[in-house]
Chain A
Amino acid sequence: MSFTPPSDPKKPKSIKVSQLCELCHSRKALIKRPKNLQKICKLCFFHVFETEIHNTIISNNLFEYGEKVAVGASGGKDSTVLAYVLKLLNERYNYGIQIVLLSIDEGIVGYRDDSLATVKRNKEQYGLPLEIVSYRELYDWTMDEIVACAGVRNSCTYCGVFRRQALDRGAAKLGIRHVVTGHNADDMAETVLMNILRGDVARLEKSTAIMTQSSGSPIKRSKPFKYSYQKEIVLYAHYKKLDYFSTECTYAPEAFRGTARELMKNLEAVRPSCIIDIIYSGESLRLKPKRTKRAPPAGHVEVCSDGSVSLNGGDFVDGNRCERCGYLSSNRICKACMLLEGLQQNRAKLSIDRDVSTHGAARLTRTLEQLTF
């Protein structure tokens, strides 16, 4: 992100009436809100930013009193601000939740070292417990090994699938049933556009869901930043002087997603509200009722575009488990296992003299068995 927040100037001696905050009319406006271009002061910015997140939490009933909640903590700005704001709102409005920082160590040398150090500092700064779960523990592969094997081009596919499962598996290991993530409005809008551009009909209606949970899964996920602009999150972190690590994934986004991101940037320059406008649109996307397809012949196995094998001719079945690892999956074999299998075959080819593949696969199965719910 090339966005740099404006610096905090010294308090001027005399303020003109025209320079006052458009909300409180008593302090100098310092920030032009990216969301609606309103000119507001720092305190009002904190107020609207925090209150909007609180409103999102309350109107969507995100939390139950007494619930244990894991914040997916990467040390990046989104998750750092999330941990900070959740702790603050929990105390201010008495949600009665217990917050745990949950960090995933993907095993990217250099990249994670700094961000994990940040998370460890956040632990001290906010007085929140921290748990770190590594890819090595979960998958027996580090991200660096995956990239070496699959190539940088495909890394985002792996990154996405493994990271998503890692948080759930990590939370399950800790007996926590609710994971909150720092996905913001920009991510949400980008997902809506991507699903339309890719024709991803299965995900279209759910693109903007604030809370997701497969029936039968013990883990629910929610996104309290659903309506928060990335730029406002950056501004908030800046003015609150929060300690975060700049974390764009070291592996650039897959090229097609990159084109959508570029489009979003141009659209935002023309109409700043377009991010929430796209989310509004996303919330109204609904598919026509499916026309009944002729049943496939018995024993028919459908292979999905992502290479996974679907059950029951492609209908989404919740609560079904992966044959390999027991993780919840709509397909017979979950996406992570599919990808891991591809990797194993590659690794076998790459290391003829060092027979690690069978060992790796066996260990993986064993490890994952212990993690089943």
Chain B
Amino acid sequence: MGINQLCKRCKTAEAAVVSRKEPFCIACFRKFVSLKQRKQMMSDQYFQDIFKVMYPDKKKTAEEAERLNQGSRILVPLSFGSSSIVMLDVLNDTLTEQREMHRGKTGFRIDVLVCYLKDDLEELKRKAEALMTVKLRDNKNSVKVHLVDIESSMNSPDFTRIHLQDSTYMVRNASVSANEAQSVKELLSSCSNRSAREDLLNIIKTAIIKRFGVQGGYKAILWGHSTTRLADEIMSLVVKGRASQIANALNDSEEDFEYGEPLRNLHPMRDILLSEIDAYCFVSDLTQYLHKYKPQDTLLVNKIPVAPDAQPPRAKLTKNMTINELARQYFDGIEGSYSNVISTVVRTGAKLDDPENSLKSKVRCGICNNTVFCDGSHWLRNITVTSSHPIEDAEEEAMFRAWSASEQGKVRGEYLKLTSEMEISGHEFPVCYGCILTLGEVKHKSLIWPSSQSNSVESVIEDFIISDESDSEHEGH
């Protein structure tokens, strides 16, 4: 064994991580990642006002300054993947530093939001509790955890059926009674592939988070997307016909009006690669908090030994992968030979603007709530002919009559029946191009959706605050 490399920053400690061709010791690497995140948190005046500790000055009294500090509440959606866990860790360190430097004062407060499906609840509760009682213990007065059941997004007094007619790409809706309502689980299992399932789940989760953010009056939502994740997302949005969403999705400098009230989004990890975040997880002992996520040790000097009984990961069949997974696989594959592609894609995405609106008025998609800039049904109809070549002879005429007389001719299964019902009772419904595609991959090209957004997310929050008893309970062990 040769002598281990020294950290290039401090030139004293042994290197534990090699990133962007530079060897880092643990402390210097943690600092490197942390500074990248904090740089984004200080990227403009608005965010500086959130995160900085305020003091009385010419413009504000001591009370006002303290009110600002207390009122700087940010929302951190936590998926228990490496990125959001690392983001929370850096935020926690920031709070600790502030308390030390400002005699107990901190500049901001964190509300963590966990969206869960019932099967994961116990596990997530356990991990959230471990986070609060161990990792975030010193700052527990500044951190609050909320758990929201993803199923609650289907709580609504009225429902609507959204239906795609595949021969014309027309989308219609009609109200249905509450007993026709589907659970999120049922909806997801009615998708014909994993891509559609992932898209719908993401749409539902994003809606919960943003509505929670608006209703809670948070100063900002902090999204944990790494550079790598953003690059996947940009490519996937393009592939899914959703490129018009990119500008809004990446916009950290202007208000987001998607859910009525203005909201600010921030992607503080946008300059950090996923491999760096994973390495940070390993060297900071955060892997225990991860849920359904396997961090990669690619940047570690000492790789994590594989358990002898561990099964080698089974390669997924391309056909069963989601579009996002294919994009990720692509970037993983070229990282070695074309290292700058990931950051190039993110930089390019950040240069995009909303497209020109070709519609008469501003319309939002009835499914994903993104702005619709172009009539996707019309576009598809224009480039896809669905008329037929005329019938040429008696034999064909006979076949056509046989078809018309058959069950298939009258109502080709449930789908056509549903389609003709919707043609009679439904109304044209605005849906973006990407959601037309998603609808096409759901059973009967139809889904039941809550029709009013009036039910607030707050009413279904299961607040989850670690109480003193549970604290002492842990100490008693």
Interface residues of A (CB under 8 A from B): 15, 17-18, 20-21, 23-27, 35-36, 41, 43-44, 46-48, 51-52, 55-56, 59, 192-193, 196-199, 201, 204, 227, 255-256, 259, 263, 266-267, 269-271, 273-274, 276-278, 280-289
| Structural contact, A17 and B402, CB atoms closer than 8 A | yes
With A17-B408, A270-B323, A271-B195 in contact, is A56–B399 under 8 Å at CB? no
Smallest distance from the beta carbon of A165 to chain B beta carbons, Å?
Answer: 27
| Structural contact, A192 and B238, CB atoms closer than 8 A | yes
The residue from B344, B383, B409 contacting A227, defined by CB atoms under 8 A apart:
B383
Complex: how many Å from CA A55 to CA B383?
7
Contacts of B178 in A (CB 8 A): none
Contacts of B238 in A (CB 8 A): 192-193, 196, 278, 281-282
Contacts of B321 in A (CB 8 A): 266, 270
**A198 — nearest CB in chain B belongs to which residue?**
B344
The 5 closest A-B pairs by CB, nearest first: A281-B243, A277-B241, A24-B388, A23-B388, A26-B400
| Structural contact, A199 and B347, CB atoms closer than 8 A | yes
| Structural contact, B353 and A289, CB atoms closer than 8 A | yes
| Structural contact, B391 and A56, CB atoms closer than 8 A | no
Contacts of A24 in B (CB 8 A): 388-391, 396, 400
Smallest distance from the beta carbon of A260 to chain B beta carbons, Å?
Answer: 8
Contacts of A201 in B (CB 8 A): 348, 351
Complex: how many Å from CA A18 to CA B413?
12
Complex: how many Å from CA A36 to CA B204?
27
One of B9-17, B288-296, B330-338 at the interface: B330-338
| Structural contact, B383 and A276, CB atoms closer than 8 A | yes
**B327 — nearest CB in chain A belongs to which residue?**
A263
Is B46 part of the contact surface with A, judged by Cβ < 8 Å? no
| Structural contact, A274 and B239, CB atoms closer than 8 A | yes
| Structural contact, B242 and A17, CB atoms closer than 8 A | no
| Structural contact, A25 and B385, CB atoms closer than 8 A | no
Which B393-411 residues have a C-beta within 8 angstroms of A?
396-397, 399-400, 402-404, 406, 408-409
Complex: how many Å from CA A355 to CA B279?
59
Complex: how many Å from CA A132 to CA B355?
42
The residue from A15, A20, A23, A281 contacting B387, defined by CB atoms under 8 A apart:
A23
Complex: how many Å from CA A197 to CA B193?
27
| Structural contact, B400 and A286, CB atoms closer than 8 A | no
Complex: how many Å from CA A197 to CA B346?
9
Smallest distance from the beta carbon of B308 to chain A beta carbons, Å?
Answer: 34
With A51-B385, A199-B348, A284-B355 in contact, is A17–B376 under 8 Å at CB? no
| Structural contact, B240 and A259, CB atoms closer than 8 A | no
Is B352 part of the contact surface with A, judged by Cβ < 8 Å? yes
Smallest distance from the beta carbon of A308 to chain B beta carbons, Å?
Answer: 20
With A196-B234, A196-B345 in contact, is A15–B399 under 8 Å at CB? yes
Contacts of B168 in A (CB 8 A): none
Residue-by-residue, is B224-243 near A (CB-CB < 8 Å gives 1, otherwise 0)? 00000000001101111111
Complex: how many Å from CA A256 to CA B241?
23
| Structural contact, A46 and B323, CB atoms closer than 8 A | no
What are some 25 contacts across the A-B interface (CB < 8 A)?
A17-B409, A23-B386, A24-B390, A25-B400, A26-B403, A36-B166, A47-B385, A47-B387, A47-B389, A48-B385, A52-B385, A56-B383, A196-B235, A198-B344, A199-B347, A227-B383, A259-B338, A266-B318, A266-B329, A271-B193, A271-B441, A280-B379, A281-B244, A286-B354, A288-B353
The residue from B244, B351, B409 contacting A287, defined by CB atoms under 8 A apart:
B351
Contacts of B239 in A (CB 8 A): 267, 271, 274, 277-278, 281
Smallest distance from the beta carbon of A50 to chain B beta carbons, Å?
Answer: 9
With A47-B387, A52-B384, A276-B383 in contact, is A286–B352 under 8 Å at CB? yes
Smallest distance from the beta carbon of A45 to chain B beta carbons, Å?
Answer: 9
Is B449 part of the contact surface with A, judged by Cβ < 8 Å? no
Contacts of A55 in B (CB 8 A): 382-383, 385
Is B356 part of the contact surface with A, judged by Cβ < 8 Å? yes
**A185 — nearest CB in chain B belongs to which residue?**
B383
Complex: how many Å from CA A271 to CA B402?
33
Complex: how many Å from CA A36 to CA B347?
33
Smallest distance from the beta carbon of A18 to chain B beta carbons, Å?
Answer: 6
Contacts of B341 in A (CB 8 A): 197
| Structural contact, B388 and A47, CB atoms closer than 8 A | yes
Is B218 part of the contact surface with A, judged by Cβ < 8 Å? no
Contacts of B390 in A (CB 8 A): 24
| Structural contact, B338 and A280, CB atoms closer than 8 A | no
The residue from A36, A47, A267, A282 contacting B243, defined by CB atoms under 8 A apart:
A282
**B374 — nearest CB in chain A belongs to which residue?**
A284
Q: Which of B353, B380, B389, B392 has the most CB of A within 10 A?
A: B389
Complex: how many Å from CA A8 to CA B355?
45
Is B103 part of the contact surface with A, judged by Cβ < 8 Å? no
The residue from B247, B326, B374, B404 contacting A270, defined by CB atoms under 8 A apart:
B326
| Structural contact, A286 and B345, CB atoms closer than 8 A | no
Complex: how many Å from CA A26 to CA B399?
5
Sample of 15 further A-B pairs with CB below 8 A, known A24-B396, A26-B399, A277-B433 = A17-B406, A25-B403, A41-B389, A51-B385, A52-B384, A55-B382, A266-B326, A267-B239, A270-B193, A281-B237, A281-B238, A286-B352, A286-B355, A288-B351, A288-B353
Complex: how many Å from CA A271 to CA B238?
13
Smallest distance from the beta carbon of A350 to chain B beta carbons, Å?
Answer: 29
Contacts of B166 in A (CB 8 A): 36
Is B477 part of the contact surface with A, judged by Cβ < 8 Å? no
Is B108 part of the contact surface with A, judged by Cβ < 8 Å? no
**A281 — nearest CB in chain B belongs to which residue?**
B243
Complex: how many Å from CA A289 to CA B406?
59
Complex: how many Å from CA A283 to CA B404?
40
| Structural contact, B348 and A259, CB atoms closer than 8 A | no
With A20-B403, A197-B344, A274-B239 in contact, is A26–B355 under 8 Å at CB? no
| Structural contact, B326 and A43, CB atoms closer than 8 A | no
Complex: how many Å from CA A193 to CA B237?
11
Contacts of B345 in A (CB 8 A): 196-197, 199
Is B368 part of the contact surface with A, judged by Cβ < 8 Å? no
| Structural contact, B237 and A271, CB atoms closer than 8 A | no
Complex: how many Å from CA A27 to CA B399?
7
With A196-B238, A287-B351 in contact, is A259–B333 under 8 Å at CB? yes
Complex: how many Å from CA A7 to CA B206?
47
Is B112 part of the contact surface with A, judged by Cβ < 8 Å? no
